[in-house]
A and B are shown apart, each in its own frame.
Chain A
Amino acid sequence: GAVVSQHPSRVICKSGTSVKIECRSLDFQATTMFWYRQFPKQSLMLMATSNEGSKATYEQGVEKDKFLINHASLTLSTLTVTSAHPEDSSFYICSASKAVGEQFFGPGTRLTVL
């Protein structure tokens, strides 16, 4: 139980285009979903927290208009990187939680912006 999927696993795009990443909890309903960014050899950096049907809460320094988060249902959240630039290239990971307690992580999405 507690399986989280992400799609796509890897994406390469041109500078200026937008990219959408999906995060799904496959076998449970997620009260909250989180989006992280991870740079090489570093730990996870929380970008935003989203609850189904509510606006996402962004961490300080994360641009809301650049990283659009939609949490349409208890099993699906999407992260859209708008007008992507090379500096947005990174490993993006989502997680989902049932309530208070453990977060279960997706496999991650490697974004490369050319």
Chain B
Amino acid sequence: EDQVTQSPEALRLQEGESSSLNCSYTVSGLRGLFWYRQDPGKGPEFLFTLYSAGEEKEKERLKATLTKKESFLHITAPKPEDSATYLCAVQAEETSGSRLTFGEGTQLTVNP
């Protein structure tokens, strides 16, 4: 059974204080690992897809990296508008279609 564990559950940062969110996964053959951002009362917003160990992707202050066991979402010099819940999900090779297994998310708060 595919499993995704995110840590920490919640993270409070000061504006400009860089940090990383962790996503550990167990899957029988990874097709892709996905990062989403979710604001309260809204649907998740797609951020990144990573397909193989060693891959990295960047978008503004966010950088996602992938190893064979985990992914990190690095946030550099965060701003209050980066406050949200960040969700990690995996898709297994054996999965038909594009079904995802989600982690519980990390709730990030960036204080001004």
| Residues of A near any B CB (own CB < 8 A) | 2, 4, 6, 31-32, 34, 42-44, 46, 49, 51, 91, 93, 95, 97, 99-108, 110
Residues of A within 8 A of B100 (CB): 46, 103
Do most interface residues of chain A lie in helix, strand or loop, or is the interface mixed? Answer: strand
State A106–B43 Cα separation when bound (angstroms).
6
Residues of B within 8 A of A93 (CB): 43-44
- CB-based nearest A residue for B9: A41
B17 in the interface (beta carbon within 8 A): no
Contacting residue for B98 out of A101, A105, A106, CB 8 A: A101
Extra 16 A-B pairs, beta carbons < 8 Å, given A6-B43, A99-B97, A103-B100: A4-B43, A32-B98, A34-B99, A43-B104, A49-B99, A93-B43, A93-B44, A97-B98, A100-B91, A100-B97, A101-B32, A102-B46, A103-B34, A103-B98, A105-B46, A108-B41
Contact yes or no, A31 B34, CB < 8 A: no
